[in-house]
Chain A
Amino acid sequence: MTTRPSSTLLLLALAGAASVALALLIGSVRVPPRDLWEILVGTADAPLVSIVLDLRLPRALSAFATGALLALSGAILQALLRNPLADPYVLGVSGGAAVAALIALALGAGALGMQLASMAGALATTATLFVFARRALFARATSAVALSDDGTTHVLLTGVMIAAFCAAALSLLLALAPDGRLRTMVFWLLGDLGGATSLPGAAFALALLAGSLVIAARLARPLNLLLRGDVQAFTQGVDVEWTRRTLVIVAALGTGAAVTLAGAIGFVGFIAPHLVRRVVGNDQRVLLPAAALAGGALVVVADTAARTVAAPLQIPVGVLTAMIGVPLFLWLLRTR
């Protein structure tokens, strides 16, 4: 009972490390596993070091951070909204990021410009969400507004509406886009880690992930109670509004950063929490870190496959996260 969650987490951490190692070895230039250590300490041949450290490492770390942030956000939102169908995209944050990124792309911006626009879009959408859902996010239980279990519905409805608006704006952008840019846009929308080649970018995302995990660890106990209704959580001593607000910010920032790094990778934020939930159960103290590790590993594996199985063609990584994740989930559904 006490050893199982920690051993599962350890196993998932090893899987994450193994997936990153795999991503460093596999590609157009195949690196023998025994050379990896020499490369990492910088004593191997210069071209090989450059391929692994300058190209593959930032991309693998970005992939891990992306998957982990999306899975953590998804797990948080599924618990917070008490809805197993929730994913990081229900709040509309990724939609806002995508709209801004595609506008930047249409205006001829490069990778950095798109990333900046994407982050700005994510933040703007988060702010919009807070303005329109403020009744649920800022209501004090003892004010004129009664605390009710409808608060989460209000946040969810607001997010879904923002997402719907962003989807319409994306369709408009795609319809108006010149043919030359259309392919890049569609690819970005399906998720693309091809632009994630900067080590500082990966480091920033990993730092955000670490911070989010620390906050998630602190709020996992109150979240366990929120899962069972706002009113009950409040009477049992949870500061409902503060907890909900903080977790919405964590989820929104994580989603924004992930979308900024990798485009709108679908599905991992939905499937990773469900995958680990079937193994570790619903204690958020275990589920949140486990989902992050599983999501990270899943995207690293999917991205490695995306750039190798049809090389030199690249398959959108978002397609592969679903193609790997769905059979895995259906298998777990059957065996448990």
Chain B
Amino acid sequence: MRENSSARLECRNVHLRAGERELVRALSLCVQDGERWVVLGPNGAGKSTLLAVLAGVRAAYRGEVHLEGRRLHDWTVEQMAEQRALVTDRWHDPFSASVLDTVLTARFRLGGADAQGEHVAREWLAEFDCTALVDHDVATLSRGERQRVALATALAQDTPLVLLDEPIAHQDPRHQALVLDRLARTPGRTLIASLHDMNAAARFASHALLLTGRGDWSAGTAHEMLTAPRLSTLFEADVITVPAPNGAPLFSIGS
């Protein structure tokens, strides 16, 4: 059954534009099962656009995205919902609803009789430190809490691929570490996340895609990509490494 040769997700010659501006030129990328990719780049580099294209929410300017060897265009909405989840940071809570009901929307594709649904939803809420919020109204949550509920929602969708647009943007330091830690040790999932924090990226990722926002890109293992010289070029800033008391050196911006 398993085709080890075919990638979970593949970009073939993908071009991205925002209006007339060229963001990404001829991106070719293979994401294999179980890999954790980080997408890094300055503001406006096309990170969110790329994630939207990978999720099938918008079309690439040119090129194709293949999911499990089949063109994304050829998947139905329901089939895609079984394969990938997307966490954005735009939430709409115009009417009140409980946190639990919000997470349960992820189980839509499983139909009305989803015996596992509530159990799975509660488990993921617990994973992201939201147990105390289960019966709260989503509209009353802080942005950080709402984001963790959105993460629980995406994982409760139970898809092999999870796309995350700045999943720790609203988290305090403890929850940044908690979220990345939970994501990194979730078995059987392939993750692609955009991040702004270079150190968080280094802790989280097995692979990295660097987008300059001017068309150029580079991709490879985190070890190859997340180096001070490459990050300096990427962010047009003086990125240095400083020794850490335990573990790998930390990135910082020099003066």
Contact = CB atoms under 8 A, between A and B. Distances in A.
Contacts of A79: 95
A228 B138 CA distance: 11
Contacts of A142: 56, 59, 72-73
User: Which has the most chain B C-beta neighbours within 10 Å: A83, A225, A232, A234?
Assistant: A232
Nearest to B112: A221
Interface string B141-180: 0000000000000000100000000000000000000000
Interface in B79-105: 80-82, 84-86, 88, 90-97, 101-102, 105
Interface string A234-248: 111111100000000
13 contacts: A83-B94, A141-B57, A142-B59, A149-B92, A225-B105, A228-B92, A228-B102, A229-B90, A231-B86, A232-B86, A236-B85, A237-B108, A281-B97
A78 B105 CA distance: 19
A253 to B, nearest CB: 24
A142 B105 CA distance: 23
Given A229-B90, A231-B52, A234-B56, 13 more contacts: A142-B59, A142-B72, A148-B58, A149-B92, A221-B112, A227-B94, A229-B92, A231-B88, A231-B90, A232-B105, A236-B85, A236-B106, A277-B95
A240 B112 CA distance: 19
B57 A146 contact: yes
A237 B110 CA distance: 10
A222 interface: yes
A235 B105 contact: no
A228 B148 CA distance: 16
Nearest to B96: A282
Nearest to B101: A283
Contacts of B236: none
4 A-B pairs with the lowest CB-CB distances in the bound complex, closest first: A237-B81, A146-B58, A237-B109, A229-B92
B59 A237 contact: no
Interface in B50-75: 52, 55-59, 72-73
Interface in B106-140: 106, 108-109, 112
Nearest to B92: A229
Nearest to A140: B59
Interface of B: 52, 55-59, 72-73, 77-78, 80-82, 84-86, 88, 90-97, 101-102, 105-106, 108-109, 112, 157
B90 A238 contact: no
Given A149-B92, A228-B102, A234 B57 contact: yes
A128 interface: no
Given A234-B77, A236-B81, A282-B96, A228 B91 contact: yes
Interface size class on chain A is 20 to 34
Contacts of A143: 59
A235 B101 contact: no
User: Which has the most chain A C-beta neighbours within 10 Å: B72, B82, B91?
Assistant: B91
A314 interface: no
A272 to B, nearest CB: 15
A84 interface: yes
Contact of A149 (B77, B82, B90, B95): B90
A154 interface: no
Nearest to B94: A82
A282 B95 CA distance: 7
Nearest to A283: B101
B108 A84 contact: no
Interface string A262-300: 000000000000000100011100000000000000000
A229 B93 CA distance: 9
A39 interface: no
A144 interface: yes
